[in-house]
Chain A
Amino acid sequence: MLRTLIVDDELPARERLRRLLAEIGGAEVIGEAATGREALEQAARSGPDVVLLDVRMPGMDGIETARHLGILDEPPAVIFTTAYDQYAINAFETRAVGYLLKPVHRDKLAAALAHADRLTRPQLQRLAAVSGESRRTHIGIRRREEVRLIPIEDVLFFQAGQKYITVRHLTGEDLIEDSLRTLEEELGSGFVRIHRNALVNVRHLERIERHPDGHYGVRLRGCVTALPVSRRLAGELLERFK
């Protein structure tokens, strides 16, 4: 039995998928969720094999939800559902990602379940990049029984270490697996690179200070220590925040 989670913000859409799954057989619905956040909670708790995930949802959209599902210990396979979203469909086509068009045909759903597969991280990153409107709103942090979501605006800075990236946010500090370069690309102009290993949230920037030795440092609201600015990026930074 495939343990399946249905995620869609519209009740009639969820009901229909549930009924189709019952007709097909071989799948057991272990839960329903109306938002990406609920989906993550349920997935972390009950570990589904497959998630049927609507692309267009209020708050966190399907593609971002899929990315956060991807950091679970045992990420589920994902099948996207969409009524009409040319960007997303193009992205699914080129990345060979499973998707279904609504109203969903029963035999197509059966076929998709048979081939359902996990998404790889590069796949997810590319999906997010090409699907146009999708913008990352949260950073997902894996905890034992849950995925904790830190809103992007609460992040103070990212700092790259040997293997992980440290996320410093309003409520603490966590480690994530990602790369500064993709984060920088995805987060856009709200964040600024101040060092090879540091990406800073502009909204928490308090001041730029000059040390006696000629180096620059950045002070962030709520941070005791200053972050060093690399010589190469100092000019750009001063130019932007003159």
Chain B
Amino acid sequence: MATPGGTFRGNADAFYLPDFCASRAAFAIVLIAELTAIVLSIARQSASVDFWGELARSSLFLLWVGLVGAALLCGLRPRLARLSVVRGSVMVLAMLTAMIAVISAAVFLLGRSAFVAGAGGAAFFPARLWPFVLRNTAIGFVICAVALRYFYVTHQWRRNIELGATARVHALQARIRPHFLFNSMNTIASLTRSDPALAEQAVQDLADLFRASLSDRHQTITLAEELEIARTYQRIEQLRLGARLQVTWSVAGLPPDARVPGLLLQPLLENAIYHGIEPRPEGGTVTITGERAAELISVVVRNPVSERQNEREGNRLALANTRERLALLYGERSLVKAGRFDEEYIVTLRFPYTTSAPPAAG
């Protein structure tokens, strides 16, 4: 379920309980046990009952129950995950309730043992067996049921978020700006007569771009391939914009074999041209610089600023998309920054250098 990178491997069939083997879950259990102990102690408090003694007793008992329960769920999770949600939940509930009954009985018996009696601690333990066991079982049943419901709802909620994000990424990936498509078609229509060889090349380039944009989103490609896609895109735009578009590439320092999500750079170049160059009658220069420092790759795309670039929706969507995809692959080790500095709009990407395809989550 929740992995450290904040991503999420759960799918529609996965069991909804979190993995109780993880240290974070164990910590949560301890926290819940203590909170429950406090609630119970407050509820029971009266003139004749000592609050701190009560709290100590409840804590001891609940921590045992909680941690044994976590250990059980940790061990049985693979089997529970094979059951349906309803059957799995019933099983878990039954198992935990039974476990609470057994532990309660064990505590009672311990209090009656010669060891405790000899130490003079009998008063710390329950006096009668059945009321103690029944009461604990009932409370345990209710709390487990509420907890299961909570985990289920949380799980559904996260799944919805994840599905929403996936859908958004898909939608964005499939999206080639209609403007770009029709303008390119118009350019090609013009070139077919005036320069058939150039028209042929433009058609090939357009086909390559479409293939890249339609490819599987789980795939990573090499940085060399991604740079080629971006250059292909530039070639098409160059036909249309002519001398108005200048692109300076200084990417010799980038390792060509690094794995990156497909269409990582091309949309940034597209944005830079669409928002930074096209609105300016005199055109301008887009600068792409890349370098590798130790195990980090950074790429910077800059373009002359045009009004409101950071507020435009297309711009924000593309950036959010890039950020999301890098985060899916590299978690918090990736970074996407964008903003206006003086007369330039600058986007910076940073992500770890890997040559093997990272385990794509999702």
Contacts and interface: CB of A to CB of B under 8 A. Distances in A.
B186 A102 contact: yes
Interface string A129-172: 00000000000000000000000000000000000000000000
Interface size class of B (residues with CB under 8 A): 20 to 34
A16 B279 CA distance: 22
A84 B178 contact: yes
B281 A84 contact: no
B279 A83 contact: no
A2 interface: no
Contacts of B194: 12, 15, 19
Contacts of A16: 186, 189-190
B173 to A, nearest CB: 20
A30 to B, nearest CB: 20
A206 interface: no
Give the dominant DSSP class at B's interface: helix
Contacts of A65: none
Contacts of B186: 10, 12-13, 16, 83, 102-104
A10 B280 contact: no
A58 B182 contact: no
A56 B179 CA distance: 10
B279 A10 contact: no
Interface stretch (B15-23, B59-67, B234-242, B325-333): B234-242
Interface in B186-219: 186-191, 193-194
A232 to B, nearest CB: 34
A12 B191 contact: yes
Nearest to A15: B190
B304 to A, nearest CB: 12
B172 interface: no
A233 B258 CA distance: 65
Given A19-B193, A84-B178, A13 B187 contact: yes
A35 interface: yes
B183 interface: yes
Given A16-B189, A16-B190, A58-B278, A10 B241 contact: yes
Contacts of A34: 281
Most B CB contacts (10 A, CB to CB) among A56, A85, A102 go to A102
Interface string B100-138: 000000000000000000000000000000000000000
B63 to A, nearest CB: 63
A12 B281 contact: no
Interface of A: 9-13, 15-16, 19, 34-35, 56-59, 83-85, 101-104
20 contacts: A10-B240, A12-B239, A13-B187, A15-B194, A16-B186, A16-B189, A19-B190, A19-B194, A58-B281, A59-B281, A83-B178, A83-B182, A83-B183, A84-B178, A85-B179, A101-B182, A102-B182, A102-B185, A103-B186, A103-B189
Closest 5 pairs between A and B when the two form their complex, measured CB to CB: A16-B190, A83-B182, A12-B190, A103-B189, A102-B186
